[in-house]
A and B are shown apart, each in its own frame.
Chain A
Amino acid sequence: MQSVSRCGCSILPPDLLRRIARNGSSRQRDDALATLGLDHTLRLTRATYDLLDPRTGAGLFGIAGAGKERSIYDAHGTETLPGRMVRAEGAAAVADVEVDEAYDGLGATYDFYADVYDRRSIDDAGMHLDATVHYGRRYDNAFWNGRQMVFGDGDGDLFNRFTISLDVIAHELTHGVTGDEAKLVYLGQAGALNESISDVFGSLVKQYARRQTADAADWLIGEGLFTSKVHGVALRSMKAPGTAYDDPVLGRDPQPATMDGFVHTSADDGGVHTNSGIPNHAFYLLAVALGGHAWEKAGRIWYETLRDRRLKSTATFRQFARLTAQNASHLFGKTEHAAVVSAWAEVGVKANG
């Protein structure tokens, strides 16, 4: 088999490099992955998202992929992004649980959006799905930087690795979907909606992977992230906001379930991770009221509302709720409209009128 030059301007087509990565020797595999990583980084740099037609995927450089295109990078404990590519699309599993969890989690999330909502990746135009693992030193967080997902290993004391929960991976990727569609600003109620939408679809990806019905799902976000030292089951509970943890070091889950508990604060970009409990709980109530698989009706109503051109980037809970009620009517009918209005009413948000 031919050797692979580590050059950012590789003459070998990506498909051939991927085959070498899958079938070559250990060294050939490393070289092919490194070249793919360099090549992919250069293409990403050249092709800013503004140059892509979001509907057709036709880019100036024609980079939109035809299907699922995942790339997992390893930051090796640094905070330099994206790091070194360690697993490309179609490559075999590697002896690194974080790499494989990220790869599989991105795949499950892509499949969910494609199968259920006919959406091709983050931008509905085949955008590459990139994630970096082993980010930072004992880094106990995960975030979306506008272009890719980033996962820390956790400190091992309070937090396990951040790839451990499928819903957390789907949560991060959904921030990309929201950034492509409604572009909800990350502040105040719009920011809490942004966070809630990531929790909603994060949970739905997990439910879809398990083929669970609404009443069988746990509705937890980040189960497994805490070590055994922490008194808690997850980061958040959509079923019972405010009950996910109560720990001497982390404190008590501050999420309200209804508007009566809405937290007015300037911290955390206006409480985006706190007040998201309210729309989270409304979605849970709706899903359970409708029954069956939550992604079929409740999820479809939320997804179409996220894509609704009337949804402003500065939307309030009430504005979002009204659109969900209208979309429930258009998509399904009176029964679903009434269920949406009722779910929002239970959390103190008026969705009709």
Chain B
Amino acid sequence: MRPSCRHGPRSASRRTADANDVKIDFRVEGGLAAFPGLAAPTTIHCDALPPPEQERLHDLVQRAGFFALPAHDARAAMPDARAYTIAVDDGARCKTVTVREPIANPALRDLVDALRDKALAARRSR
């Protein structure tokens, strides 16, 4: 199942985001081959990360303008290019974005790189 925000933010009554309490769901699709292990959705709870990593992810979400991005990538699929689905819930807002490679937004690209590394590390620790 793809990450989504169908249920809205976890704390709808809250008005401000908390960098420590950001939850990110991440999923990779496509690429030169379908790897079930790499395609499994991953959830990253930022409050479980060391403070510098929390701040970096929060900063990348802000710099990417994540909450203003279109929900879907209108470009046609390019053969073997990957698509990423990211759902960010910062307590006040929740948004799901699907973006295809190549990614022009540098901060969004860095965010995808960081999430890919986190997802891989999580799989290795299982």
Mark A residues whose CB is within 8 Å of B.
Answer: 79, 81, 137, 140-146, 150, 162, 168, 171-172, 175, 179, 186-187, 191, 194-195, 198, 222, 235-236, 247-252, 254-255, 267-269, 271-274
Contact = CB atoms under 8 A, between A and B. Distances in A.
A143 B78 contact: yes
B39 interface: yes
B37 A249 contact: yes
Select the residue from A144, A168, A172, A250 with max chain B CB neighbours within 10 A.
A250
Contact of B33 (A186, A236, A248): A236
A250 B37 contact: yes
Nearest to A195: B79
Contacts of A195: 79
Contacts of B80: 141-144, 171-172, 175
Given A137-B113, A186-B76, A143 B81 contact: yes
Select the residue from B2, B29, B35, B123 with max chain A CB neighbours within 10 A.
B35
Contact of B30 (A194, A236, A269): A269
A141 B32 contact: yes
Select the residue from B82, B102, B109 with max chain A CB neighbours within 10 A.
B102
B27 to A, nearest CB: 8
A162 B33 CA distance: 12
A247 B37 contact: yes
A235 B38 contact: no
A258 B9 CA distance: 43
A344 to B, nearest CB: 23
**When A and B form their complex, which 9 residue pairs have the shortest distance between CB atoms, in order from nearest?**
A251-B37, A251-B36, A143-B80, A273-B34, A235-B33, A175-B79, A143-B81, A250-B37, A250-B35
Contacts of A248: 37
A273 B36 contact: no
Interface string B49-87: 000000000000000000000000000111111100000
Contacts of A137: 113
Contacts of B17: none
Given A137-B113, A194-B79, A269-B77, 7 more contacts: A81-B102, A140-B31, A144-B79, A175-B80, A186-B78, A255-B34, A274-B34
B48 interface: no
B83 to A, nearest CB: 8
Nearest to A135: B102
Nearest to B110: A137
Contacts of B123: 249
A143 B101 contact: yes
Contacts of B36: 250-252, 254
Contact of B79 (A186, A235, A252): A186
27 contacts: A141-B80, A143-B31, A143-B32, A143-B78, A143-B80, A171-B80, A172-B79, A179-B79, A222-B33, A249-B37, A249-B123, A249-B124, A250-B35, A250-B37, A251-B36, A251-B38, A251-B39, A251-B40, A252-B36, A254-B36, A268-B30, A268-B34, A268-B39, A269-B29, A269-B30, A273-B30, A273-B32
A142 B32 contact: yes
A187 B77 contact: yes
A273 B81 CA distance: 12
Contacts of A271: 34
Contacts of B101: 141, 143
Contacts of A150: 102
Contacts of A191: 77
B32 A268 contact: no
Contact of A143 (B37, B79, B124): B79
B99 to A, nearest CB: 13
B25 to A, nearest CB: 15
A247 B35 CA distance: 10
Contacts of A250: 35-38
A273 B37 contact: no
B32 A144 contact: no
Contacts of A236: 33
Contacts of A145: 78, 81, 102
B62 to A, nearest CB: 21
Nearest to A176: B79
B31 to A, nearest CB: 5
Contacts of B31: 140-141, 143, 273
Contacts of A146: 78
A194 B2 CA distance: 24
